[in-house]
Structure 1
Amino acid sequence: MNTSTIFLSLMLLMQSGNSLKCYTCLFPTISPLECLKFPVSCPPSERCLTSTATGRKGDFQFVLHERSCAISSLCDTSGQRSTLGINVTFHNTCCDTDLCNAGTAEKSTLGSILISSLLLLTLF
């Protein structure tokens, strides 16, 4: 191996070792703790996202939590979306340190998991 090949290999290893680690959810959840099981390495230009969405379906009001890697344009944004007739208000925040989007400590109960599952079934 020549010197430039070794140098390039070392640079690639150093760059991949410096990627930001964030928690992510496979699906939006009612409990922020359900996301903590899935840490991932983000692409170099992305940050850790924490998103909270509130909505109402009939008399049932809900709050959904999401964690992921995100591009900067999604950070520090708020707004409203409508999916299948359900209006949702969301707020996104981002951070720049490993696993910084852990969220708050909140107990996950069987009831919240069941409600989350039923809500997701009605959305899709």
Structure 2
Amino acid sequence: MATVKRFEDLRIWQDAHALNKEIILIAKSTKLKDNFKLKDQICSSAGSIMDNIAEGFERDGNLEFRQFLAIAKGSAGETRSQLYRLLDWEYINEMTFEKLITDCEYLSKRISNFISYLNKKDYKGTKFKS
């Protein structure tokens, strides 16, 4: 695996950013824009995925990074749950719902795999270098 110097280089962050942009588009282009509480909740949880990946990376410690990745994975689950609410309220159709659910599940799996990868590494992080 190539050395990653910026969180923006992480594929999981890129995927989380793409998902977030799709949620924003739905929030702007559907009647969801009038349901302020649900709009804020799903926009917040989708944004939290990418934000926690970034924050964990910037902590410069492997243990903290894994902790923030676990939070990001939880936010992906929260976003997935809220997609059911969007479908129930008919803000999205079945096809959009299925695509976004698949995206969330794939992202959760990738985050989980990355956590497993980091668990196998002895590297503690740059903040532990002398």
Same-fold call, TM > 0.5? Answer: no
TM bin (shorter chain) = under 0.3
TM-score, normalised with respect to structure 1: 0.26
TM-score, normalised with respect to structure 2: 0.25
Structure whose residues are more often helix by fraction: 2
Structure whose residues are more often strand by fraction: 1
